[in-house]
Chains A and B, each alone.
Chain A
Amino acid sequence: MRHLTLIVLIAFAGLLFYGIGHVPDRGALDSPPNAAESAVGSPNAAAYYVENAYLDAETPNMVTVTLADYRSFDTLGETVVVFTAGMACALVLRRSRR
């Protein structure tokens, strides 16, 4: 059983390394996420963010613009998740006053 686990783990690691070898370079313009047009010809969001982040928000850090402006709904969700975690801890751990 231990040998089987080891074999499966090694095979999985080999699969992951095989996959990593085919990941496009970071920032490569010919990779699908960075291209200005998607495979079906519609405009791609990432290229728009890179080109217009400073023009839209006068903020040099385009990661901040993407997180807090273009994708602020997602950031709102993250904040609510943190808030909910705090509320859940309070509900479970705080002793009720009786």
Chain B
Amino acid sequence: MRSYYDDRIVALSARLVTPFIQLFALYVVFHGHYSPGGGFQGGAMLAASFLLIRLSIGTAAAQSQFQRSWGTPVSSIGALVFLGAGLIVMFFGFNFLDYAGLPLGLSDPELRNAGILAIELGVAVTVAATLTAIYDDLVGEPLGPLAGGLDEPTVVAEADQVEGPEWDVEFGNG
């Protein structure tokens, strides 16, 4: 039986577009110092790339890209990076979130530049993982091909047997 996820055109175009979306998302995150952008926007685009794969080939097959169980820990890590950047400087006698106290051996403006990048990365990771996790929670159990795990026979395998004339190819000896 053909399932919703067996459309090759949708799956292929989603797979083709996803790396470019992710590259642009990283550009938006890292170029936030120089142009409009930053952690929230880049993280949302990163989540969009994950959700595109999930929508096109199914949540089950998309587990190899971003696993369902990663959502909560990864978003926690992002928030902890932000908090950590704020807390570390307190051990060096600076105010909370005053990046001039980061122990990197740079000048004050360079340290603030690095601190901004660090927290933008934390924000991006949190937003991307949280949005993906919310989608996964709404969907529930993974759907689509590979829903039973990699070892189980899948819907794709059945769909590969396309209806049509059967070609009997015989390789004779001559």
* Residues of chain B within 8 A of A60, CB atoms compared: 33-34
Number of interface residues of B (CB under 8 A): 41
Ranked nearest first, the 6 interchain pairs of A and B with the lowest CB-CB distance are A86-B130, A57-B112, A93-B137, A58-B109, A68-B116, A72-B97
- Interface on chain A toward B: helix, strand, loop, or mixed SS? helix
* Residues of chain A within 8 A of B38, CB atoms compared: 64, 67-68
Question: Can you name 22 A-B residue pairings with CB atoms under 8 Å?
Answer: A57-B112, A58-B112, A58-B113, A61-B32, A64-B116, A68-B38, A72-B119, A79-B39, A79-B79, A79-B127, A82-B127, A82-B130, A83-B76, A83-B79, A83-B126, A85-B134, A86-B71, A86-B75, A86-B133, A89-B134, A93-B138, A95-B140
B46 CB → nearest A CB, Å: 13
* Residues of chain A within 8 A of B113, CB atoms compared: 57-59
Binding site for B on A (CB under 8 A): 55-61, 63-65, 67-69, 72-73, 75-76, 78-80, 82-83, 85-87, 89-90, 93-95
A63 CB → nearest B CB, Å: 7
